[in-house]
């Protein structure tokens, strides 16, 4: 499916985002560097992730049904390592027919070992390239992950399914505070409300979104 906004919207979004992202605040200088996970199998990390919780960028303050798809590219033919397809509905109610799908495709570069590293950089648009550290990961099943931001202004809590066990979510919040020096003011849960029609319109398969998660 192709739900990308028109180029004018993309460019204006990009200019605004450029003014709000990519710069570490002075307060962050007192914080220790974020600790990435020890190992991350790039191939296993690929595929579909649902954004469960977020300290949002300006684009995500009201978003719903936010989904990221990661695709590993051929290093012989691509100048970057990973395509990141990020789509979301702009407002809180994803089933509102006036709530349009927005798209922010991104490029990713794995730092160090291309197939075994939790230290990435991503670019939502030229010339911005930001750190994208994977700071928590279910290393057994790759069922959840957390991506941080050096200044702690943003964080993304990801799940392979549109719901996350509340105990796991609370554990990750605790780790963010205790292990990664995060202040969770502003953290929001992203509404994930899916129907069969929404699954089709977003181009997801029944493997990526099983019937058991549909309303």
- Other Cβ atoms within 10 Å of 32 Cβ, number: 7
CB 114 within 8 Å of CB 42 = yes
Give residue-wise pLDDT tens across range 67-76.
999 999 999 9
The Cα–Cα gap between 128 and 215 comes to: 38
**Confidence band (pLDDT; 50, 70, 90) for 29?**
low
Furthest CA-CA distance within the chain? 48
Q: What is the pLDDT of residue 145?
A: 98
Q: What is the pLDDT of residue 30?
A: 86
Bridge partners for 53 per DSSP: 157, 189
Give residue-wise pLDDT tens across range 127-161.
999 999 999 999 999 999 999 999 999 999 999 99
Question: What is the mean predicted confidence (pLDDT) over 164-192?
Answer: 98
In angstroms, what CA-CA distances link 27 with 73, 150, 164, 175?
36, 11, 32, 20
């Amino acid at each position: 499916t192709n739900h990308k906004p028109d180029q004018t919207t993309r460019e204006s979004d990009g200019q605004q985002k450029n003014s709000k992202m990519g710069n570490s605040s002075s307060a962050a200088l007192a914080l220790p560097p974020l600790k990435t996970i020890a190992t991350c199998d790039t191939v296993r990390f690929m595929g579909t992730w649902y954004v469960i919780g977020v300290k949002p960028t300006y684009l995500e303050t009201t978003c719903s049904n936010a989904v990221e798809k990661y695709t590993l590219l051929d290093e012989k033919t691509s100048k970057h390592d990973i395509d990141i397809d990020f789509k979301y509905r702009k407002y809180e109610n994803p089933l509102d027919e006036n709530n349009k799908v927005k798209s922010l495709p991104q490029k990713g570069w794995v730092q160090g070992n291309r197939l075994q590293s939790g230290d990435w950089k991503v670019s939502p648009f030229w010339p911005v390239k930001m750190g994208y550290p994977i700071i928590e990961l279910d290393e057994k099943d790759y069922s959840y992950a957390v991506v941080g931001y050096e200044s702690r202004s943003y964080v993304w809590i990801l799940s392979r399914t549109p719901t996350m066990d509340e105990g796991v979510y609370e554990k990750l919040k605790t780790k963010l505070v205790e292990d990664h020096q995060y202040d969770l003011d502003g953290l929001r849960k992203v509404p994930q409300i899916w129907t069969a029609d929404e699954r089709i319109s977003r181009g997801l398969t029944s493997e990526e979104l099983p019937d058991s998660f549909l309303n």
